[in-house]
Structure 1
Amino acid sequence: MSTAVATRTRSTKLPSIPITLHRSAAMNLFDDVPSDLPSELVDVLAEGQSVRIERIISTGHKTEPGTWYDQDQAEWVVVLRGEAKLSFDDGEITTMKMGDHILIPAHRRHRVEWTTPNEPTLWLAVFFD
């Protein structure tokens, strides 16, 4: 029995981009998660010239009525704990549970309609060009 092995080669070297760490590189994403928050908590974990990584904690929080996010960068977001519901200005509604992720293109208007009210919803978001 033989096993095929796939390899990837990169034809161009990625440029070196300075990254600023806002927290220790040894941080655990599940540490220091408060359960009682007056507003959503956003921790910028690292950022560079064209990328930003955030840990977001929501406990029953949602986007203010009539407000839409319209971002200059694409956003990839994953729910690590809890649940959430996103809506888009074209009428699409996406319910997200632990492990679900979505890629939101730049300037796709969206909002958070609901997050788990009785436990923190923990998101990891990566914004990039």
Structure 2
Amino acid sequence: MFKQGSLFKSLPNAQNNEVFDDLIKHPSVRIERIVSHGQCSPDEGWYDQDEHEWVIVLQGEAEITFENEQVIQLKHGDHLNIPAHTKHKVSWTKPETNTVWLAVFYPAEVS
């Protein structure tokens, strides 16, 4: 069955909290739309995922900080692949506007 939609039509209100929507969820891949509006990860803790994550910023701007203190800025159209178990966090998203991300999670081990 076909599943059609628009990444930008009817964006959810993310002014108070980031919004995560699974667009595709399959045992070997998950594609997620994330809408941020000035939010960032909590000060304590890091994302430490069992799968690889490829992200692209479709609208807005963001900054990702890694445990080794490397900071990567992402603007409209920029993408980044984050290997599994690479500790990271979203340290900034552009305030007063939506930042729309597309995240693709895929297995670290392919059998």
**TM-score, with normalisation over the residues of structure 1?**
0.79
Contact 1:58 1:120 survives alignment (8 Å): yes
Question: Number of residues paired by the alignment?
Answer: 107
Equivalences for residues 86-125 of structure 1 within 5 A: 86-125=64-103
Question: Which of 56, 60, 65 is the aligned partner of 1:82?
Answer: 60
Question: Which of 49, 52, 55 is the aligned partner of 2:27?
Answer: 49
Contact 2:12 2:19 survives alignment (8 Å): no
Report how far residue 27 of structure 1 moved: 0.4
Q: What is the DSSP-based 3-state SS (H/G/I as helix, E as strand, rest coil) of the residue aligned with 1:54?
A: strand
Q: Which has the higher contact order (CA 8 A, sep 6+)?
A: 2
CA RMSD of aligned residues (A): 1.4
- 2:40 alignment counterpart: 62
Larger Rg computed on CA atoms = 1
Report how far residue 32 of structure 1 moved: 1.3
Unpaired runs of at least 5, structure 1: 1-20
Contact 2:14 2:35 survives alignment (8 Å): no
The share of aligned pairs that are identical, in percent, is 45
Unpaired runs of at least 5, structure 2: none
Report how far residue 37 of structure 1 moved: 2.6
Counterpart of 2:9 in structure 1: which amino acid?
D
**TM-score, with normalisation over the residues of structure 2?**
0.91
Contact 2:24 2:31 survives alignment (8 Å): yes
Q: What is the DSSP-based 3-state SS (H/G/I as helix, E as strand, rest coil) of the residue aligned with 1:96?
A: strand
Counterpart of 2:104 in structure 1: which amino acid?
V
Structure that is richer in strand per residue: 2
Report how far residue 36 of structure 1 moved: 4.6
